[in-house]
């Protein structure tokens, strides 16, 4: 049995410039999909996969994330007084247990690899999960839970992948596909943001990783790569020289909430999956789509 994955790292130091001015005073991870912050979905996915300790690599102006995962006693009292028991128990059940969160700051925007390296002291000498909060998955079983079967069988390092188009490969880390079994496939190659002629496949790294702690020693000396940043993919290429990497094709859909279209699509998809909201929301969507179609038809006449 490989060593259990108890800790998860969430790099949340990014500035969120693509969402200005919304992110001027609010971290992008606190923008909401329906009525829950983006980061809450990702933490929930980690919890469902059995993660016990949540490590946030933050930066300036991110302290509201810490508040979000803390007890809010005045709010709890107000809800109790008003008899809002459901809201109260939902709040309580989502709270990570005392001592189960850690926060450290990245201090300088040197890249994702550097952000992960900042968590080394808190993670220590054990394998861990890494979840990029921009990527929000929708599935019956969360992506990290799906990856656990491959980890239990092969140990080592596990990466979730999804398929993209040749036009989009330059936006992501791309993997080469080797021998397959029922849990996943052996990763033969990794390239960060290749152009389409150099991409080994159309499978992109979708922001969920299980990594062995030896990655930290490599990150410590990792030179900057694509975009002039210290890349986690480059450190994984180094680690792959001595350890196995398994790819798991995520059975579900990931929304890239780092882009406006992806974030808006996530809102629509998650709202339509909520029984309390879906009927009213679907009616509104129909109206909007109908009005857009009518305008288009008129323009075409
Ligand atoms: C990072 C990773 C990349 C991965 C992507 C998923 O890139 O470096 O390999 O495919 O996340 O979102 P970034 O989006 O930080 O440029």
Could you state, in order of their start, the residue ranges of all structural domains in the chain?
A: 7-258
pLDDT tens-digit readout, 230-245: 999 999 999 999 999 9
From 12, 16, 205, give the residue whose CB has the most ligand 1 atoms within 8 Å, as the site to mutate.
Answer: 205
Whole-prediction pTM value? 0.94
Q: Which is the closest atom of ligand 1 to the Cα of 172?
A: 10
Q: Atom 11 of ligand 1 has which residue's CA nearest to it? A: 207
Ligand 1 geometric centre to CA of 132 (Å): 8
For residue 30, pLDDT beyond 90: yes
* Average pLDDT across the chain, whole number: 94
Distance (angstroms) between ligand 1 centre and the Cα of 134 equals: 9
**Could you read off the pLDDT of 256-292 as tens digits, one per residue?**
999 999 999 999 999 999 999 999 999 999 999 998 8
- Ligand 1 geometric centre to CA of 12 (Å): 13
Q: Is 264 left (phi over 0), alpha (psi -120 to 50) or beta?
A: alpha
Q: What per-residue confidence (pLDDT) applies to 90?
A: 86
Q: How far is the CA of 274 from the centre of ligand 1 (A)?
A: 29
What is 7-258's CATH number, 3.90.550.10, 3.30.70.360, 3.40.1710.10, 3.30.390.30? Answer: 3.90.550.10
Is residue 13 a contact partner of residue 20, using CB atoms and an 8 Å limit? Answer: no
Residue nearest to atom 5 of ligand 1 (CA): 172
How would residue 300 be classed by pLDDT, with cut points 50, 70 and 90? confident
Determine the atom of ligand 1 nearest the C-alpha atom of 206.
6
Residue 75 Cα, ligand 1 centroid: separation in angstroms? 37
Residue 301: predicted pLDDT: 79
Pocket test for ligand 1, best of 9, 163, 204, 207 (most atoms within 8 A of CB): 207
Q: Which of left, alpha, beta for 227 (phi over 0: left; psi -120 to 50: alpha)?
A: left
Report, as an integer, the average pLDDT of 27-49. 96
Q: Which of the two residues, 177 and 92, has the higher pLDDT score?
A: 177
Rounded CA separation 177/185 (Å): 7
Mean pLDDT of 115-143: 97
In tens, the pLDDT along 179-216 reads: 999 999 999 999 999 999 999 999 999 999 999 999 99
Q: What pLDDT was estimated at residue 156?
A: 97
Residues 150-168 have pLDDT tens digits of 999 999 999 999 999 999 9
39 versus 60: the higher-pLDDT residue is 39
Distance 202 CA to ligand 1 centre (A): 14
Which of 137, 165, 148, 166 has the alpha carbon at shortest distance from 248?
148
Ligand 1 atom 15: the closest Cα is on which residue? 112
pLDDT tens-digit map of 81-99: 999 999 899 888 889 999 9
Per-residue confidence at 36, pLDDT binned at 50, 70, 90?
A: very high
Closest listed residue to residue 44, CA positions, set 88, 98, 95:
95
pLDDT band for position 63 (50/70/90)? very high
pLDDT above 90 (res 112): yes
Ligand 1 centroid–CA 2 distance in Å is 27
């Amino acid at each position: 049995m490989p060593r259990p994955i108890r800790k998860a790292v969430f790099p949340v130091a990014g500035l969120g410039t693509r969402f200005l001015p919304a992110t001027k005073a609010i971290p992008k991870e606190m923008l909401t999909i329906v009525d829950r912050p983006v980061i809450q979905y990702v933490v929930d996915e980690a919890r469902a996969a059995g993660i016990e300790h949540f490590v946030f690599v933050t930066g300036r102006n991110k302290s509201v994330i810490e508040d979000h995962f803390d007890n809010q006693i005045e709010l709890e009292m107000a809800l109790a007084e008003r008899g809002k028991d459901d809201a109260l128990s939902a709040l309580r059940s989502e709270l990570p247990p005392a001592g189960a969160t850690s926060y450290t700051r990245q201090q300088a925007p040197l890249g994702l690899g550097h952000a992960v390296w900042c968590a080394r002291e808190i993670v220590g000498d054990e394998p861990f999960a890494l979840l990029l909060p921009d990527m929000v998955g929708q599935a019956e079983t969360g992506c990290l839970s799906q990856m656990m079967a491959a980890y239990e069988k092969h140990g080592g390092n596990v990466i979730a992948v999804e398929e993209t188009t040749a036009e989009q490969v330059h936006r992501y880390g791309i993997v080469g596909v080797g021998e397959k079994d029922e849990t996943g496939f052996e990763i033969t190659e990794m390239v960060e943001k290749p152009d389409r002629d150099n991409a080994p496949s159309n499978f992109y790294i979708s922001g969920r990783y299980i990594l062995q702690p030896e990655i930290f020693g490599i990150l410590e000396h990792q030179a900057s790569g694509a975009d002039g940043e210290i890349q986690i993919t480059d450190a994984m290429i180094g680690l792959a020289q001595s350890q196995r990497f398994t790819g798991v094709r995520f059975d579900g859909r990931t929304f890239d909430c780092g882009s406006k279209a992806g974030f808006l699509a996530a809102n629509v998809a998650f709202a339509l999956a909520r029984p309390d909201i879906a009927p009213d929301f679907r009616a509104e969507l129909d109206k909007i789509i109908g009005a857009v179609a009518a305008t288009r038809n008129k323009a075409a006449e």
